[in-house]
Amino acid sequence: MLPPISELNNGITFYVENLTYSVHYLFNLDNRPDGLKIDYDVYLNKLNKNLQREFCWTLKQQQELIISMLYKRPIPSIAIASTLYTEMVIDGKQRLISIRNYITNKFSIALFGVSYYYKDLPFTYQRYLQRYTLNAYYYDMDKFIGARIYNKDDWRNKEQDLINWYNYLNFAGTPHNQADKHETTH
């Protein structure tokens, strides 16, 4: 006999909210007066390495993402863990860096046979991309523990949550690369 559904555990020991982020909001974070930053790598003291793999998308993959956004195709959700000063990217680094690269004119896309850098797009297209919203799974680490994380011991205790979440999101299907999987001892 199966246990009640309420007793099933997905390996995630914290509450994750569903939010939406606009591109404009996400990429203005570095200029916010409160100093909030986006951490794309998420360094893990416990493992002495980054949670995230290096940026590896090809130019074609980056271009396809931007074109998909313009054509209103669904984009997979991102996953963000938040602390007092940092939004940590748990899933979505390749997508977010690709969007940032495009809006900072690092590459162009072809639309109807014409190549456009972001700065060359008509204003309505720029505005559309700025207002484009990404669905996000959001884990407010400070809210969950009921207090701000101020010392290294508190942070080490939360690293395992981030590792579990990352592995759940990235290795429940086809793995990126086995070297990217984070192994820990409990």
The secondary structure of 15-68 as a DSSP string is --EEEEEEHHHHHHGGG-TT--EEESS-EETTTTEESSPPP---HHHHHHHHHH
Residue type, 6: S
Nearest to 30, CA basis, from 91, 90, 95, 103:
103
Rounded CA separation 10/162 (Å): 14
> What is the rounded distance in angstroms from the CA atom of residue 132 to the CA atom of residue 121?
15
| Sequence-distant (≥ 6) Cβ neighbours of residue 155 within 8 angstroms | 45, 149
| pLDDT of the chain, 186 residues: tens digit per residue | 777 776 665 556 667 788 888 888 887 745 655 656 888 998 888 888 998 889 999 999 999 999 999 999 989 999 998 877 788 999 999 999 999 999 999 999 999 999 999 999 999 999 999 999 999 998 887 765 544 445 555 656 678 788 888 887 877 655 556 666 666 443
- Judge residue 94's burial from the number of C-beta atoms within 10 Å of its C-beta, 0-12 exposed, 13-18 middle, 19 or more buried: buried
* Residue-level pLDDT at 185: 44
The pTM score is 0.79
